[in-house]
């Protein structure tokens, strides 16, 4: 079942049409981190290290990340990037989660936090969320932009 703001059919949502729902899902994620893990999140770059720590616990214990919690976490990670760099969301039926597109079309960044969240749990620290986030400025400066997954 899709969360608010996710595709419910074959077409992609118009950019910006689901930002409020995704922002709400990100706030729900922050509340879960606070209530269940006693980890306060403030939508800052620094907060990604705290998210990374919790995801690391799943990795270390070899516990599967529940899909709804992973999706909410992906929305939180995307919202941190959107608050810092701007951009708009696209929801594509073939892709889980949402795609954040940052910057102009000629050298923008396609930022897919959903895959990175689940990759962090599966692969461990090599998929560090702060490192992922810090790749945005260089990718924006690169001719043609890029796809961060």
Mean pLDDT score across all residues of the chain:
85
Q: What percent of the chain has pLDDT over 90?
A: 58
Query: For the stretch 109-133, what's the b/e string if a residue is b when 16 or more beta carbons lie within 10 angstroms of its beta carbon?
Result: bbbbbbbbbbbbbeeeeebbbeebb
Give the CATH class of 19-148: mainly alpha
Give per-residue pLDDT as tens, 119-128. Answer: 999 999 999 9
pTM of the predicted model, to two decimals?
0.84
């Amino acid at each position: 079942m899709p969360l608010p703001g996710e595709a419910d059919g074959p077409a992609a949502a118009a950019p910006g049409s689901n930002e409020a729902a995704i922002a709400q899902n990100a706030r729900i994620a922050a509340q879960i981190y606070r209530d269940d893990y006693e980890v306060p999140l403030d939508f800052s770059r620094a907060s990604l290290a705290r998210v990374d720590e919790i995801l690391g616990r799943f990795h270390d214990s070899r516990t599967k990340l529940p899909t709804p919690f992973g999706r909410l976490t992906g929305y939180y990670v995307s919202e941190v990037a959107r608050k810092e760099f701007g951009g708009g969301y696209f929801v594509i039926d073939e892709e889980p989660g949402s795609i954040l597109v940052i910057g102009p079309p000629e050298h923008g960044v396609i930022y897919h936090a959903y895959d990175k969240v689940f990759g962090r749990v599966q692969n461990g620290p090599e998929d560090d969320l702060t490192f992922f986030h810090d790749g945005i400025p260089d990718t924006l400066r690169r001719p043609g932009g890029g796809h961060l997954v």
